[in-house]
């Protein structure tokens, strides 16, 4: 009989398992596996907590849309010190180029319904050695229909508005639904980080039902509402709805902050 003895002379451990040659009971591998599993879970939780802490308090975003904000010209702009600029569309390209050159931080954008088409042009007529012009503002990154990672944030974009006339960057509800489905498939292939696959959604139009305007051109997209509900990003920024001098309040869709950023908003995550 081995192990510590009880008052009645029985061993607490040896009564359950035979002793090895050293007089000690064999190692309990089941307990080892359980402890290792707990350690792995604890480490994953620490990783999630670290990422969430980073996202919660250390990323400052300047978001712009639709109207040039004259207050961003001059000496005030450098004092904002954003880590990232997001444009939700319908802004002059030279304005975006000014912002990215003054602040020297990444600027991600999606096109609005008043922007020109950013589809690659037919360059078959150009000499082979000619440099191909890149559509869109220089120094900025078009994320329309894409998923990118910047400063530890997973960011997706969908530009355009509900179609109400002929022109680029306008879609029916069905067309935007197909575009959103492609984006959703890309997101689902991404590894879950900090409990989510998407941190920020950047669009021109609002999600359906959260628009301040009710006319057909501004009601927003059902597909965007579904995207936010399915992925619950930390933040969804959009434009398209002009506040005409009023400050539009933030709204919550489940756990997602939804913000109309026209003409500009400074957001801390």
In percent, the amount of the chain with pLDDT more than 70 equals: 71
CATH fold for the domain made of 60-120+136-268: Purple Acid Phosphatase; chain A, domain 2 (3.60.21)
Higher pLDDT, 13 or 192: 192
Q: What is the mean pLDDT of the chain?
A: 80
pLDDT digits (tens, 9 = 90+) for 81-130: 999 999 999 999 999 999 999 999 999 999 988 778 777 555 555 565 55
Phi, psi of 78 (to 5 degrees): -65, -25
pLDDT at 29 over 60: no
- Look at residue 41 and tell me whether its pLDDT is greater than 50: yes
As a whole number of angstroms, the distance between CA 61 and CA 88 comes to 13
Residue 87 CB contacts under 8 Å (≥ 6 apart), including other chains: 63, 64, 65, 96, 107, 108, 109, 110, 140
Of 216 and 98, more confident = 98
- Put simply, whether the predicted model's pTM sits higher than 0.85 gets the answer no
Which tokens hold the place of 233?
């990003």
- Beta carbons within 10 angstroms of residue 216's beta carbon: 9
């Amino acid at each position: 009989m081995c192990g510590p003895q009880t008052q009645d002379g029985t061993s607490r451990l040896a009564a359950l398992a035979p002793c090895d040659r050293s007089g000690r009971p064999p190692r309990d591998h089941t307990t080892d596996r359980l402890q290792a599993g707990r350690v792995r879970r604890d480490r994953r939780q620490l990783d999630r907590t670290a990422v969430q802490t980073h996202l919660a308090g250390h990323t400052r975003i300047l978001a712009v849309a639709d109207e040039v904000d004259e207050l961003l010209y001059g000496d005030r702009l450098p004092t904002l010190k954003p880590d990232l600029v997001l444009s939700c569309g319908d802004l002059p390209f030279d304005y975006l180029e000014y912002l990215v050159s003054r602040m020297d931080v990444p600027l991600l954008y999606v096109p609005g319904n008043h922007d020109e088409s950013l589809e690659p042009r037919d360059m078959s007529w150009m000499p082979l050695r000619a440099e191909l012009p890149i559509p869109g503002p220089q120094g900025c990154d078009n994320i329309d229909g894409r998923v990118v990672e910047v400063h530890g944030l997973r960011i997706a974009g969908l530009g355009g508005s509900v179609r109400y006339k002929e022109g680029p960057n306008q879609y029916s509800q069905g067309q935007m639904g197909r575009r959103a489905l492609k984006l959703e498939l890309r997101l689902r292939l991404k590894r879950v980080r900090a409990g989510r696959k998407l941190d920020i959604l950047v669009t021109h139009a609002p999600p359906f039902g959260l628009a301040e305007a009710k006319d057909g051109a501004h009601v927003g997209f059902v597909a965007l509402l579904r995207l936010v509900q399915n992925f619950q990003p930390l933040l969804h920024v959009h434009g398209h709805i002009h506040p005409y001098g009023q400050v539009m309040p933030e709204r919550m869709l489940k756990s997602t902050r939804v913000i109309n950023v026209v003409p500009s908003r400074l957001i801390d995550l």
